[in-house]
Each structure stands twice: as C-alpha cells, then as structure tokens.
Amino acid sequence: MDRTLVLLKPDAIQRGLVGNIIGRLEARGLKIVGLRFLQVDRPLAERHYAVHQARPFYAGLVDFITSGPIVALALEGRNAVDAVRATMGATDAAKAAPGTIRGDLGIDLGHNLIHGSDSAETAVNELKLFFPEGLVDYARALDGWITEA
C-alpha cells in the first residue's frame, strides 16, 4: 500500500468544501492515516513549495497557502499517489475534467482547492513535513471489499 499527502487549500476551507472533498477521497477507497487542521507559516510553505522556487507564480503560491487555515491529510491505498492525482484532476481547474474534484468544484488555476503529492518519493518527504510525528496504523474491516488480496 502507498501513502500520499493531500492538502485542502485555504479556498477549500473558506468555501466550506472540506467534507465534500474528503468524502470523495474516502469514497474512492483511500484510508485516512493522518489528519490535521492547521495554519501554514511561511517557512513550512517555502519548504513544501521549494521545487517551484524559480517559477514566476512562487510568491503568489506561498501567499495563497499561508492566507488561511488548511487541512492536511495522509491517505493510504493501492497506488494512492496516482489515485489521488486522478481524482484531483488537472492543475488548472478551468480545464480539469468533470467528475474530478477540481473539475467539479473549481474554475481557476491558482485557486484549485487541493494539493496531492506527485510521486511516491515526493510523498515520503511531504508526509514528513506535515506529519513529523508519524502516521496512524490501523486496519478497517472493509479493506478487503475495496482491494482484492
């Protein structure tokens, strides 16, 4: 099983879409193994988005992710990284396919509601950043109904 980091960005919280978005990810079969509601400070934002440091939108991105509280989620499941990315939809919500989180709930490139790790390697590092205390291991009775052994 793989794990991945999801952030519900400040627009998702301000728009009251937390339950809707987490509900979609849970319904996909992904298991919550970490959950935090927090205000991201600039040092954390800068570490999380370090890969985009040279991009013209970097300053705006750091401003946005620190503009209000967020929800950080650690999700576990088969191919969790790809499953979350597909469920999120394209980066530009205006172009994201209907049926995806961004395609159903957003219409903007910057205010696109959700972050998901883009590779298994990135996920390990991003999970450490947002869940330094580690994640919660547990079994669910329904796991055998979601993925065949």
Burial class (CB in 10 A: 0-12, 13-18, 19+), 6: buried
Between residues 20 and 122, which has the closer beta carbon with respect to ligand IDP?
122
Binding site for ligand IDP (CB under 6 A): 52, 57, 61, 91, 109-110, 112, 115, 118
Q: Residue 37 binds which entry of Mg ion, ligand IDP, none, with Cβ cut-offs from 5 to 8 Å by kind?
A: none
- Consecutive H or E run containing 101: helix 101-105
46/118 with CB nearer Mg ion? 118
Contact 30, 81 (CB under 8 A): no
Count interface residues toward Mg ion (CB under 5 A).
Answer: 1
Give yes or no: 48 in active site: no
For residues 59 and 136, which CB has a smaller minimum distance to Mg ion in the complex?
A: 59
Smallest distance, Å, CB 118 to Mg ion? 5
> Are the C-beta atoms of 31 and 75 separated by less than 8 Å?
yes
Choices 40-48, 56-64, 95-103, 115-123 (CB under 5 A): range interacting with Mg ion: 115-123
Q: Is 106 buried (19+), middle (13-18) or exposed (0-12) by CB count in 10 A?
A: buried
- The residues that are catalytic are 115
